[in-house]
Structure 1
Amino acid sequence: MPKKYPDEFKVKAIRRYEKGESIQSLCQELHISQSTLYHWRREYCSIQTATHTYTPKEFDSITRRLQKAEHKLEIIQLSGYLSKVPLQDRIATLEHLHTEFTKVYSVHELCEALDVARGTFYNHIFRRADRSKYESEQAQLALKVKQIFDDSEQRYGAEKIRTILISNGLHVSKKHISAIMQELGLHSVRTDAKKLYKAQQRKKQDLLNREFRVDHPNHIWVSDITYFKIKGSWLYLCVIIDLFSRKVIAHRISRSASTRLVTTTFRAAYAERGMPKNLTFHSDRGGQYISDAFSKLLQQFGVKQSFSATARPHDNAVAEAFFATFKKEEAYRREYTSERHFRQSVDGYICFYNEVRPHATLKYKTPQAFEAAYTNDYIEKTCSNSGGG
């Protein structure tokens, strides 16, 4: 009967191995076979990330917890529970969380989590009865500035808004209006708008140049959005794919093709993949991807943004190919009876695509198996380089 060793004994042996002791000397001293120590190495050798060091068991545990948290969020979204909670109740909860955790969560995160528009929340704050007279007046002024700005189809700057307020009997300085516009995130048309537009377009470079092969995961992600009409209503599907393994690492379905659809999908992928460094995100030039909110989110995480050229779908061929395959193998073979039916179909197919379906580009391995093989090789090389046994 094989001898059983305590976990503490195994860990100490591997830590000595990681510090440079050879496998041969350790085996002789501890009276164990080399195959046993190799087995312990696979089980207990450290995995180094940018901020932490994990054992394979710890790393798998963290991955499972992330998956569990992701599933909980998906269940909440699928249940439609938030939409059944009265808006005023959600706003009250949001206000409490904003007061208690103002240094932890931004208004944007809180509003997104509780499905409340930021404008609705700000309007609620503006209308609070316990505000002082001055604060109430400033809130009313901010609402008027916002209304004039929106009525001009977001063309007017501070000076034009000031002129309209004066014509309505309200005298406010241009500087004060500019401050309000900055606080509300209102940006008017500028005289150098054409110059700025061209500069922004130059920045939207294609960093891939149709080179779709990379040598490790979490180096380049590609993304796209497609849409389906289910029982008279449009549903939009956003996916993010790791270019290395062609694995769909996150997907979301929404009733609107909004920037929020893209940001929530990216946040899910970014958390699921352990907040990778030196990442490039590639997409077409759809309004959701070129939006200021999404670009700032990528900048916040240090992610480079890459874009296909206009009207050149082959620049984003991997994402386009996935949707073509999904439609051919799944969507066009179904008669969807409801939104829930469609969501279940998408979830089921992506699981099949990642874990069962062999991929020609990956030498007929599945995306999941292709990544697992890379991870195992990486661990073996890391342990071998750190050992010398």
Structure 2
Amino acid sequence: MPMKYSTEFKIKVIRRYEKGEPIRELCQELNISQSTLYHWGKQYCTIQTKTRSYTPAEFDAITRRLKKAEHELEIIRLSGYLARVPLQEKLPLLEHLHNEMAELHSVKELCEALEVARGTFYNHIFRRADRRKYQDEKTQLMQKIKQIFDDSEQRYGADKIRVVLAESGQRVSAKRISAIMRELGLQSVRTDAKRLYKKLQQRRKRNLLQRQFTADHPNQVWVSDITYFKVKNLGVYLCTIIDFFSRRVVGYRISRCASTRLVTMTFRNAYAERGEPSDLTFHSDRGGQYISDTFSKLLQRCQVKQSFSASGCPYDNAAAESFFAAFKKEEAYRREYTSERHFQKSVDEYILFYNEVRSHQTLKYKTPQAFEDAYEERHAEKPCSDNDFE
């Protein structure tokens, strides 16, 4: 019966061999064959690098992981995905990674990974303070413009608001005020106010869903809403778009302003990410961002039908309300956010959990991702009829 040796014994023998003791003497002393000692060497001989020592098994495992990582990286590069991501989305991500992983990865490594020039990234960092100052000033100006607009009972236009601001010592051009009003969806009284009023009233009556909370396939009905949350005395707004078929969050965005831009950017990203679906209905409440001409015209250009909840009736938009209730109860109210970035990370992680991990009763306890995957599988397996080839 062959002799069994402990791992500790084998390692001690290999260490003696590494210190220079001849193989023949070791084999004679310990009464083992040279082939056995060579076999132990393959298992326990150390491979020395600049940073640490490895056993052959550890080194082989690292080599396999390296080959796999190189293969995955090659796939990412061949797909061209990184080239399609806008630079303005890469830069904030790079800044976040740099702040969180400065000790692990250099700026050069991070920039090369996301295919961004280091000079571009450094310019982004150096100009950040100026951008934040400009954004803070713009936020304050937006609040003042909205306050003056509301105080006039939505009567004042850009010129009159400019005069009110000048009287308080703040000089702003009417052109800039007009641009901010468009962004906020503010529209003063006009000569064609009656026609616009009738048009708006007609549009507001369009509730295409009528609480028929069903959909036959993905990208048939999207519902959207905006919620407010306070982070360190700073108000932030979260806009989400949910696919009614699978309850999947297909788009979301965070902003310090509940502006029309927040809604349009959220929709644009979701619309592109979902492959620009056709025959889509977009349902929301009657918030100023959703009924603005800018957003309505965007939906018209994309040939998307627009639907609105009845005034003061949150049940007409129950799916969006339900998501916000779940997010606040399961995530937001359980955290003490230290910054806007912390809140953004929390939202990112929760929506990933919501889409891919959290089961939904309305989906027969499947996740939104699994529910959509099951739909795709059913239709992929559906046989073609003769009519499909006519």
Q: TM-score, normalised by structure 1?
A: 0.56
Could you tell me which amino acid in structure 1 is paired with residue 127 of structure 2?
V
The equivalent residue for 2:341 is 340
Matched, 1:85 2:85: no
Contact persistence 1:221–1:282 (CA under 8 A): yes
Structure of larger gyration radius: 2
Q: CA deviation at 1:357?
A: 0.5
Do residues 294 (structure 1) and 295 (structure 2) align?
yes
Deviations along 1:123-169, one digit per CA (max 9) or x if unpaired, are xxxxxxxxxxxxxxxxxxxxxxxxx9622359xxxxxxxxxxxxxxx
Q: Which SS does the other structure have where 2:370 is aligned?
A: helix
Matched with 1:76 is 91
Partner of 1:277: 278
Aligned CA distance change for structure 1 residues 187 and 235 (closer, same or farther; 3 Å): closer
1:251-330 alignment runs, 5 A limit = 251-330=252-331
Secondary structure of 2:382's partner? helix
- Give yes or no for contact 1:309–1:315 (8 Å, CA) kept in 2: yes
1:281-330 per-position Cα deviation (integer Å, ceiling 9, x unaligned): 11111111111111111111111111111111111000000000010011
Q: Retained in 2: the 8 A contact 1:250–1:268?
A: yes
Question: For 1:87 and 1:333, how far apart are their aligned partners in 2?
Answer: 31
Q: What are the Cα deviations for residues 59-113 of structure 1, in whole angstroms up to 9, with x where unaligned? A: x999x86699559754434538758538999xxxxxxxxxxxxxxxxxxxxxxxx
Check whether the contact 1:70–1:268 (CA below 8 A) recurs between aligned residues. Answer: no
Per-residue deviation, 1:258: 1.0
- Asked whether the 8 Å contact 2:224–2:283 carries over to 1, the reply is yes
Contact 1:245 1:371 in 2 (8 A): yes
1:376 and 2:372 matched: no
Q: Does 1:366 align with 2:367?
A: yes
Distance change (3 Å), C-alpha of 1:383 and 1:83: farther
Aligned to 1:201: 201
- What's the offset of the Cα at 1:224? 0.5
Identical aligned residues as a percent: 60
Once residues 187 and 323 of structure 1 are traced to their aligned partners in structure 2, the CA distance between those partners, rounded to angstroms, is 29
1:218 aligns with 2:219: yes
One-letter amino acid matched to 1:280: T
Contact 1:67–1:272 (Cα < 8 Å) also in 2:
no
Which residue does the alignment assign to 2:50?
A: none
Residue of structure 1 equivalent to 2:6: none
| 1:193–1:207 CA distance, 2 compared to 1 (3 A) | same
Contact 2:228 2:235 (C-alpha < 8 Å) held by counterparts: yes
2:116 aligned partner: none
CA contact (8 A) 1:358 1:366 kept: yes
Q: How many residue pairs end up in the alignment?
A: 250
Name segments (4+ residues, structure 1) moved above 3 Å.
64-75, 77-89, 185-192, 382-388
Counterpart-to-counterpart distance in 1, 2:342 and 2:128:
26
| 1:296–1:86 Cα change, 3 Å | same
Q: Is the 8 A contact 1:259 1:288 kept in 2?
A: yes
Map of 1:247 onto structure 2: 248
Q: 1:149 and 1:193, CA in 2 relative to 1: closer, same or farther beyond 3 A?
A: closer
Q: Which has the higher contact order (CA 8 A, sep 6+)?
A: 1
Counterpart-to-counterpart distance in 1, 2:266 and 2:322:
19
Structure 2 CA distance for partners of 1:383 and 1:246, relative to 1, 3 Å? same
Shift of 1:196: 2.4
CA deviation map 1:327-373 (0-9, x unaligned): 00110111111111111110000000000010000000000000001
Q: Is the 8 A contact 2:221 2:244 kept in 1?
A: yes
Q: Identify the match of residue 151 of structure 1 among 150, 159, 169.
A: 159
Unaligned runs of 5+ in 1: 1-59, 90-116, 118-147, 155-180
Is contact 2:157-2:189 (8 Å) kept? no
Question: 1:305 is matched by which residue type in structure 2?
Answer: Q
